[in-house]
Structure 1
Amino acid sequence: MTQLNIVVIGAGVVGLTTALQLLRRGHRVSVIAEHLPGEMHPDYTSPWAGAHWRSMAEPEDTLQRELDARTFEKFMELVHTVGREAGLMTVTATDYFAEKPTGWTVPWFHGLVPEFRMLDKHELLEGTVFGYTYRTFTVNTAVYLKWLQSNVEKHGGVVCRARLANWWDALSIASQASSAAQLQQVVVNCTGNGARYLGGIGDTDVYPTRGQTVLIRSHGLCKTYALHGHDTINYAIPRDDGTVVLGGTYQHHNSNINPDPATAERIIKSATTVFPELINPNTGKVDIICHAVGLRPSRVGGVRLEAETKELKGKPMLLVHNYGHGGQGYQSSWASADKVVQLIEQQLPAIPTRSRL
């Protein structure tokens, strides 16, 4: 296999996972990003995620189902090999619905997840008519992102901080950081919401979906729930560090990063109704750590996973896209990274070998 010099733009969960999989294929990889693990910037989506695996793929969305299924299997493998080192733990999840979903009576992943079963009528919450329970995992995003970056660097990858005006600017920055600039070069675009504004991409199908959450202390909670209302969704996602992420909102085309007090009150009320143990018995309230808002990188038509040939200085350049995951970034990250590897290796024969640009 030909060794390539690959530049990945973006250091969120999708970008770092993609970089790691490319490194494992023997390529030289540089990651260029404005924001890196450890930061909590509004434009850096990945740290703000819940995050856990609860597939929202529609029955007819075969691509998203494939991405979610393969990533679930990879994460469950990681839970048993690295676990808390990467901020991962398994939990029992329960999903409740205020009305029955249209088009299906059992979720597509019922045969994939362990311990799946439909809820009996007496197990449903008041105001709900449908539900199921299963075993899944949760992700401590701050720990996991740093774990990903550490593994990228352990495999020889280079992570650089830079603000890019255009996608091709990443090549000159990477050439300064890498000793492999003479190799054939490929750029992988994992910019999330940034794909709307990055020069040479300008994807106007990308838009933010606002998610408001409340981070609290768990008091021992080790299970998660999601309540799908008529026009809202509430959830609680415990993490391995004794905290719980309560949510949330799915407000499309909303980029307001200021928490709304009324929304926070609704989120807390829902969670404590389902899990009264979240209330501190000494104060009668939940122990709030902080309020947060994240902007999911959504896209009309769903995730963009494709390769295209660009002309740069009169020579062909392979540009591969992996963005637009919305709220599914973590739960489709490993499989979408593998798709990038496949796209590059499939397209490479059509791109003539060339010297440094």
Structure 2
Amino acid sequence: MKSVRVVVVGAGVIGFSTAVCIAEALPLCSVTLLADKFSPETTSDGAAGILFAAKFPDIPLERQKCWFKDSFDHLLAIAQSQHSPEAGVMLSSGWQIFKEVPADKKPFWSESVIGFRNMTEAELKRFPDHKFGQAFTTIKCECSSYLPWLEKRFRKAGGKVEQRKINNLQEVSHSYDIIVNCSGLGSKTLVGDNMVYPVRGQVLKVEAPWLQHFIRDGDGKTYIYPGIHSVTVGGTRQEDDWRLQVDEEDTQSILVRCSRLEPSLTKAKVLSEWVGLRPSRRNPRVERELVQLQGRRVPVVHNYGHGGWGVTLAWGTALDALGLVRQCLREKQLQAKL
């Protein structure tokens, strides 16, 4: 069977993870990654990139567990290798704290992270407004390093990279045999998906090298994540808000809330402010379909709509997308024999 031409649309953490999985596992495919924006301009670049997850309502829990575990194991191997500093992947320990005891004290991902346990009374004393907490070690993946590292890995596997904007799938349907759509929020226009919507996130990078542990409020709106070069503090979750400019009120609110959890932050120098739009959906779309494009039926594999959990689930859903590409190839082989 001669080389099958595959195009992956989107250069965020989902797009590059998916492209790497396909290029490395399927040498008979020639894989091109196509996008109008690359690192450091992607939404993934500003993500805090710390691994834990929320439950999606309509996806079997076992599948969500696999997504999380596959991503965690993949990044853990990088964190424990010589590639760790270049890839921007590190272990991170800390606390998730709750003002009220959550219904689910042991989330589905707790068995994949390291050393998960409930916090002791003594540990909770530090957070007098909070009644319950969990302590564990997870992974922080900094996409400003990780995306260029993945791009190198993709090119090494024979992948090609092209920077251009496409407005619809027709534009690429003649040049490729299989289309893989990882366009995030762009899927709203690219494939007409009205179920994907923006959730605006604003974060600050601050200089506070004395901070070694992450702190996350269970509501997901206030968090402090020490990284390799700086500490990410946030944040906001503003649904259907398309504003990309920094909001000064949000900046002040973030600093006040984070300093309440970690008073030493009042001494930290703000290095940068950033806004990104998370590509949210009730459930991520990881599935395939046959689409009628310019008179022929083209297999399209979708992998988008991860919201704020893109870094957390990228490798797991990329492996799923790889499985869907394999199914497309099997059907092509069958058709070729008929």
1:250 is aligned to 2:237? yes
Which position in structure 2 is the counterpart of 1:52?
Answer: 50
What TM-score, normalized to structure 1?
0.86
- Could you tell me whether the CA contact under 8 Å between 1:113 and 1:135 is conserved in 2? yes
Q: Per-residue deviation at 1:3? A: 4.5
AA in 1 matched with 2:7: V
8 Å Cα contact 1:7-1:186 kept in structure 2: yes
CA RMSD of aligned residues (A): 2.1
Deviation at 1:165, TM superposition (A): 1.5
**DSSP 3-state at the match of 2:222:** strand
**Residue 339 of structure 1 corresponds to which residue in structure 2?**
320
State whether residues 317 and 351 of structure 1, in contact with CA within 8 Å, keep that contact through their aligned partners in structure 2.
Answer: no
1:309 aligns with 2:290: yes
In the TM superposition, 1:284-295 aligns within 5 A as 286-295=268-277
Matches of 2:319 and 2:100, distance apart in 1: 36
Return the alpha-carbon distance in structure 2 between the equivalents of residues 273 and 313 of structure 1: 58
1:217 aligned residue (207, 210, 216): 207
* 1:197 equivalent in structure 2: 189
Using the TM superposition, give the Cα deviation of residue 244 of structure 1 relative to its aligned residue in structure 2, in angstroms: 0.9
**Structure 1 residue 84: deviation in Å?**
0.7
Per-residue deviation, 1:193 = 0.2
TM-score between both structures, scaled by the size of structure 2: 0.91
Preserved CA contact (<8 Å) 1:37 1:149: no
Q: In structure 2, what is the Cα distance between the partners aligned to 1:15 and 1:333? A: 9
Distance 1:261 1:133 in 2: 32
Map 1:120-269 to 2 at 5 A.
120-124=120-124, 125-171=127-173, 175=175, 185-198=177-190, 201-229=191-219, 233-241=221-229, 243-269=230-256
Q: Measure the CA separation in 1 of the matches of 2:226 and 2:143.
A: 12
CA contact (8 A) 2:173 2:293 kept: no
In 2, Cα distance between the equivalents of 1:3 and 1:336? 24
Question: What SS class does the counterpart of residue 110 from structure 2 fall into?
Answer: helix
**What is the CA–CA distance in structure 2 between the aligned matches of 1:353 and 1:162, rounded to whole Å?**
33
Check 1:2–1:335 CA distance in 2 against 1; reply closer, same or farther (3 A cut).
farther
Question: Is 1:113 paired with 2:113?
Answer: yes
Distance in 2, matches of 1:207 and 1:135, equals 31
The amino acid across from 2:277 in the alignment is L
Task: Give the total of aligned pairs.
Answer: 329
Q: Is the CA contact (8 Å cut-off) linking 1:214 and 1:291 kept in structure 2?
A: yes
Give the gaps of 5 or more residues in structure 1.
176-180, 281-285
Structure 2 counterpart SS, 1:101: coil
Deviation at 1:5, TM superposition (A): 1.3
Q: Shift in Å at residue 271 of structure 1? A: 2.3
Work out whether residues 173 and 298 of structure 2, in 8 Å CA contact, stay in contact via their aligned partners in 1: no
> Unpaired runs of 5+ in structure 2?
none
